[in-house]
């Protein structure tokens, strides 16, 4: 059985989006594990992870189809794009108010 070309394109697009999502989530994890202080970790946590989750959810939306429950996935995507940076900001600000000095080059704490 052969699928219609448009279906095939959609399938491969889903695959590509999922892989992109995995890649950026991977970057986010490496960043959170490698970077020296809470501020730099917050960078990857908010940015790479938002993008990773965005690609993953876009893949889900494409799989499910916008007619079905896919728009919920879009809603989720939008929600994560608004809340993730806000949460990162709240955490970074909490660290700042606690008096944690940002790491700079030459600092020995890692």
The residues, any chain, with a CB within 8 Å of residue 32's CB and separated by 6 or more, are 41, 44, 45
CB of 44 to another protein, least distance (A): 6
- 39-98 residues in contact with another protein (CB under 8 A) are 39-53, 56-57, 59-60, 62-65, 68-69, 71-73, 75-76, 79-98
Q: Which of 14, 12, 103 is nearest to 58 (CA)?
A: 14
Using the rule CB under 8 A, is 5 a contact of another protein? no
Nearer to another protein (CB atom), residue 63 or residue 108: 63
CB of 108 to another protein, least distance (A): 14
SS3 31: helix
- Enter the tokens of residue 73: 């996935």
40: burial class by Cβ within 10 Å (0-12, 13-18, 19+)? middle
Using the rule CB under 8 A, is 9 a contact of another protein? no
Using the rule CB under 8 A, is 102 a contact of another protein? yes
Using the rule CB under 8 A, is 30 a contact of another protein? yes
Q: Which of 26, 66, 67, 108 binds another protein (CB under 8 A)?
A: 26
């Amino acid at each position: 059985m052969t699928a219609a070309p448009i279906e095939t394109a959609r399938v491969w697009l889903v695959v590509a989006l999922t892989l992109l999502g995995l890649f950026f989530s991977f970057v986010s994890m490496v960043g959170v594990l490698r970077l020296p202080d809470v501020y730099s970790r917050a960078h990857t946590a908010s940015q790479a992870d938002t993008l990773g989750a965005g690609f993953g959810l876009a893949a889900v939306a494409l799989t499910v189809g916008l007619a079905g429950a896919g728009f919920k996935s879009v809603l989720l995507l939008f929600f994560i794009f608004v809340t993730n940076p806000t949460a990162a900001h709240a955490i970074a600000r909490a660290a700042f108010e606690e008096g944690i000095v940002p790491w700079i080059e030459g600092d020995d704490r890692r």
